[in-house]
Amino acid sequence: MSSDERLQNPLTDALCEAVLLLKSKEECYRFFEDIATVAEIKALAQRLEVAKMLQRNETYTAIGEVTGVSTATISRVKRCLNFGADGYQLILRRLQEQRIEEN
């Protein structure tokens, strides 16, 4: 599935290209600290953790307790996992592959 065409424009293209230039975790921290608020970064991190936990079939209650997100956020992430652009699926698969390679 492709990304939402409403997102695609020269500005978001440039943002994606900039993110692809980051070469380390430290560079990511520096870039995201400058481009987003702490709350925005934490929200993105929480959503990724929610996706990981949903993939492990954990309950909404457990996910909420660990991440602090609302059931609405959990539902939205679940909807994206099942019917989205496969972005979560892509990164979750790559994270799993990375864990396998590290072991």
The model's pLDDT over 81-99, given as tens digits with 9 standing for 90+, comes to: 999 999 999 999 999 999 9
Contact 77, 51 (CB under 8 A): yes
Structure tokens at 61: 């209650």
User: How far lies 31's CA from each of 11, 19, 22, 41, 91, in Å?
Assistant: 16, 8, 8, 11, 20
Q: Counting Cβ atoms within 10 Å, is residue 76 exposed (0-12), middle (13-18) or buried (19+)?
A: middle
Please state whether the predicted TM-score (pTM) of the whole model is above 0.95. Answer: no
Query: Which pLDDT belongs to residue 2?
Result: 59
Provide the mean pLDDT of the chain: 95
